[in-house]
């Protein structure tokens, strides 16, 4: 990728949200985690609401016979986007590390280096890719009550190229390193790791606890969230080597520490044994830009470290926790607001006054009644006192 292409490449939404986290300092990191967690957490339900409304509008237009022109327009725009997004040379970089190993930070770094990267956190936003995995792997596993593992089915990875991506990070793509290596022999693989397995599991456990509750309650309201629920159940079954998660009722069983760590370590070793060292980088994001640029053959002059650009830091355990809070509380507040607005409109129609005006009116009546009661009581007390004196 030449200098002009790198300079012209726009920053993505991910890069914008996490930009403030590059600054050093404990307080800066603390507030950066909170900011990014809330921003991303609110962004998820916002997308689901917009998608649900969009589907509703399409359903209405199809019923009213207005769908033909819009459908043709959509299909032509989709075809043009696929033609433009289809990239030569196949997939370039695949992150083969488990989640919670710095995959989101690395996704931002690859994006900065000119490799459009799909991270699992944004998988649901790419409907063709997500639907392909849901229909053929996630939901099918639940239906069969049997985990469909990578050796049982090979996804259509060209869908990534159709979407304009040349790189992926995190699960589920990290599991398909053998198939991807066979299909795209020039592709490079990055195995992200943590300091040790205990550190990884603590972070993984925080993530699973944070996402389970929003998935549980959100699936009742949004179809898209329910599809994420399918993915989550399949993912937990893979990591824990236990199909119980596929059809277990909520709340889901906790993560099995021994099985999770065993799965994490076995996966890493299989990757080391399967991918040639010339195409594999074992990497901790704390190492920064230099080993990454060297492995991807980025000239030193184009490496961000040369220009003083800090390596991205994102998706810490604290940020993930705030994501969960905001993704759950945000829609709840919005729902209460909508219900109150509807109630207020109906109330005004029925009573002829707003809810606030009615509350003020009731308050005034109550104060008047209280004052009158006090006056009446005072008057009775005076009369009693007068009678006693006589």
* Predicted confidence (pLDDT) per residue in 112-134, tens digit: 999 999 999 888 889 899 999 99
Q: How far apart are CA 214 and CA 344, in angstroms?
A: 29
Q: Answer whether 214's CB lies under 8 Å from 324's CB.
A: yes
Q: Answer whether 137's CB lies under 8 Å from 172's CB.
A: yes
25 has a pLDDT exceeding 60? no
290 has a pLDDT exceeding 70? yes
Lowest mean pLDDT of 14-18, 146-150, 230-234, 299-303, name the range.
14-18
325 or 308: which leads in pLDDT: 308
178 has a pLDDT exceeding 90? yes
Number of H helices, E strands in the chain: 16, 5
60 has a pLDDT exceeding 90? no
| CA dihedral sign, ordered 81, 189, 233, 138 | positive
Where residue 88 falls among pLDDT bands split at 50, 70, 90?
A: low
**Checking phi first, is residue 242 left (phi over 0); if not, alpha (psi -120 to 50) or beta?**
beta
Where residue 301 falls among pLDDT bands split at 50, 70, 90?
A: very high
Average pLDDT, the chain: 79
What percent of the chain clears pLDDT 70, i.e. is strictly above it? 67
What is residue 28's predicted lDDT score, i.e. its pLDDT?
A: 61
- My answer on whether omega of the bond before 172 falls inside 30° of 0, hence cis, is yes
What is residue 167's predicted lDDT score, i.e. its pLDDT?
A: 97
What is residue 11's predicted lDDT score, i.e. its pLDDT?
A: 41
The pair of three-digit structure tokens given for residue 193, joined into one six-digit string: 């790791």
352 has a pLDDT exceeding 90? no
305 or 6: which leads in pLDDT: 305
Q: Answer whether 115's CB lies under 8 Å from 12's CB.
A: no
What is residue 286's predicted lDDT score, i.e. its pLDDT?
A: 92
The pair of three-digit structure tokens given for residue 313, joined into one six-digit string: 């830091």
Q: Give the mean pLDDT of 208-235.
A: 73
Which residue in this structure is represented by tokens 């699973």? 208
**Who contacts 317 (Cβ-Cβ below 8 Å, separation ≥6)?**
202, 203, 206, 207
What is residue 20's predicted lDDT score, i.e. its pLDDT?
A: 41
């Amino acid at each position: 990728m030449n200098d002009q292409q790198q300079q012209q490449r726009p920053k993505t939404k991910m890069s914008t949200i996490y930009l403030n986290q590059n600054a050093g300092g404990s307080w800066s990191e603390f507030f950066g985690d909170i900011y990014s967690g809330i921003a991303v957490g609110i962004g998820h339900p916002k997308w689901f609401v917009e998608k649900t409304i969009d589907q509703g509008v399409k359903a209405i237009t199809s019923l009213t016979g207005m769908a033909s022109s819009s459908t043709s327009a959509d299909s032509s725009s989709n075809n043009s986007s696929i033609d433009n997004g289809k990239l030569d040379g196949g997939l370039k970089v695949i992150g083969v590390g488990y989640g919670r190993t710095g995959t989101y930070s690395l996704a931002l770094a690859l994006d900065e280096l000119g490799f459009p990267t799909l991270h699992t956190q944004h998988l649901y936003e790419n409907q063709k890719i997500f639907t392909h995995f849901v229909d053929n792997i996630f939901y099918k596993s639940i239906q069969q009550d049997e985990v469909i593992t990578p050796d049982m089915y090979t996804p259509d990875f060209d869908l990534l190229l159709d979407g304009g991506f040349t790189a992926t990070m995190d699960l589920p793509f990290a599991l398909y390193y053998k198939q991807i290596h066979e299909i795209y022999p020039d592709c490079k693989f990055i195995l992200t790791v943590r300091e040790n397995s205990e550190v990884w599991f603590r972070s993984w456990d925080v993530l699973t606890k944070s996402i389970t509750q929003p998935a549980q309650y959100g699936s009742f309201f949004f179809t898209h969230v329910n599809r994420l629920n399918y993915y989550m159940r399949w993912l937990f079954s893979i990591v824990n080597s236990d199909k119980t998660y596929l059809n277990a009722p909520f709340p889901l069983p906790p993560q099995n520490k021994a099985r999770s760590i065993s799965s994490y370590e076995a996966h890493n070793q299989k990757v080391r044994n399967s991918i040639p060292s010339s195409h594999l980088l074992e990497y901790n994001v704390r190492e920064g830009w230099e080993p990454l640029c060297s492995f991807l053959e980025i000239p030193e002059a184009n490496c961000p470290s040369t220009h003083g650009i800090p390596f991205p830091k994102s998706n810490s355990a604290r940020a993930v926790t705030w994501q969960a809070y905001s993704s759950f509380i945000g829609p709840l507040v919005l729902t209460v607001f909508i219900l109150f607005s509807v109630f207020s409109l109906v109330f005004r129609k029925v009573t002829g006054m707003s809810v606030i005006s009615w509350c003020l009116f009731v308050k005034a009546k109550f104060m008047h009644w209280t004052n009158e009661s006090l006056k009446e009581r005072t008057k009775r007390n005076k009369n009693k006192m007068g009678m006693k004196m006589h």
